[in-house]
Amino acid sequence: MNHLASSNPSSSRIVRTVRAAALALACTIALPVLAGKVTPPQVPDNLKVAPGSRAFLVGHAVGTQNYVCAPTAAGVAYTLFTPIATLFNGEGDQLTTHFFSPNPNPLDPNTNPAVLSDGAIRATWQHARDNSSAWARLHPNGSATVTPGALAWLLLDVVGVQDGLAGGDILSKATQIQRVNTMGGIAPSQGCASTADLGRTAIVDYTADYYFYTID
């Protein structure tokens, strides 16, 4: 289900892709949420959440993993610069958006001199209803390749939260997040082989389930 665009795709194309996938999702997806209770997924041992954690939200993500051909210590390689995804519940209603952004937590400052930001750039989720947000980074050894040819499953530690403008706090209680049941999203193996390819972009479709946990 991978789709590759190799040169600066328009945002409208991405929006059309997400909308079409969301329509199909609303007719087919059934996430394990019963009477407000979220059933955690079965995961490898290194992706298990902290003792005492409770899953309080799960969303199915439909979107893209967006890469750019950039210099590396070994030459050049596709580097992820942001995901763009929307998370839906089992009825097809939008739950959150997902992207990269600076973490406002002063305890997580930016240390990359190439990035003009006070906070570290982290995976971000913003709730569609109350605008609360959470920022997370990879847990130590928190990655596992479960499905060949798809993104790794992840365990992420929340390192920043923010209430919505009106005090919404749905995501503010999050402590850890799992990314599981991935499909697609892997950077292409071609198109970034030399300095002549620097700046080339690759937009790769993906889906995944995200589970949000808290400790009461």
Average pLDDT over residues 52-81: 97
pTM of the model: 0.84
pLDDT value, residue 14: 40
Task: With a cut of 50, say whether residue 149 has pLDDT above it.
Answer: yes
The contacts of residue 127 (CB under 8 Å, 6+ apart) are 95, 96, 133, 164, 168, 170, 171
Q: How confident is the model at residue 3 (pLDDT cuts 50, 70, 90)?
A: very low
Q: Give SS3 for 25.
A: helix
Average pLDDT over residues 15-38: 45
- Tell me the C-alpha distance between 72 and 187, whole Å: 15
Task: With a cut of 70, say whether residue 35 has pLDDT above it.
Answer: no
The CA-atom distances, in angstroms, between 155 and each of 41, 165, 195, 202, 212 are: 12, 28, 34, 25, 10
CB of 156 closer than 8 Å to CB of 123: yes
- Tell me the C-alpha distance between 85 and 79, whole Å: 17
The CA-atom distances, in angstroms, between 201 and each of 1, 13, 98, 204 are: 18, 14, 19, 10
pLDDT value, residue 12: 42
**Cα angle: 109, vertex 145, 88; to 5 degrees:** 70
Q: How confident is the model at residue 72 (pLDDT cuts 50, 70, 90)?
A: very high
pLDDT value, residue 36: 65
Least confident of 9-13, 168-172, 212-216: 9-13
CB of 145 closer than 8 Å to CB of 186: no
pLDDT value, residue 114: 86
Which tens digit of pLDDT belongs to each residue from 175-216? 999 999 999 999 999 999 999 999 999 999 999 999 999 998
Q: Give SS3 for 56.
A: strand
Average pLDDT over residues 148-153: 96
Which tens digit of pLDDT belongs to each residue from 95-127? 999 999 999 999 999 999 989 999 999 999 999
Of the candidates 93, 94, 66, the residue with the CA atom closest to the CA atom of residue 82: 66
Position with higher pLDDT, 179 vs 6? 179
Can you give the three-state secondary structure of 159-192, one letter per residue? EEEECCCCCCCCCCCCCEEEEEEEEECCCCCCCC
- The whole-chain average pLDDT of the chain stands at 88
Q: Tell me the backbone φ, ψ of residue 100, rounded to 5 degrees.
A: -105, 145
Average pLDDT over residues 157-164: 98
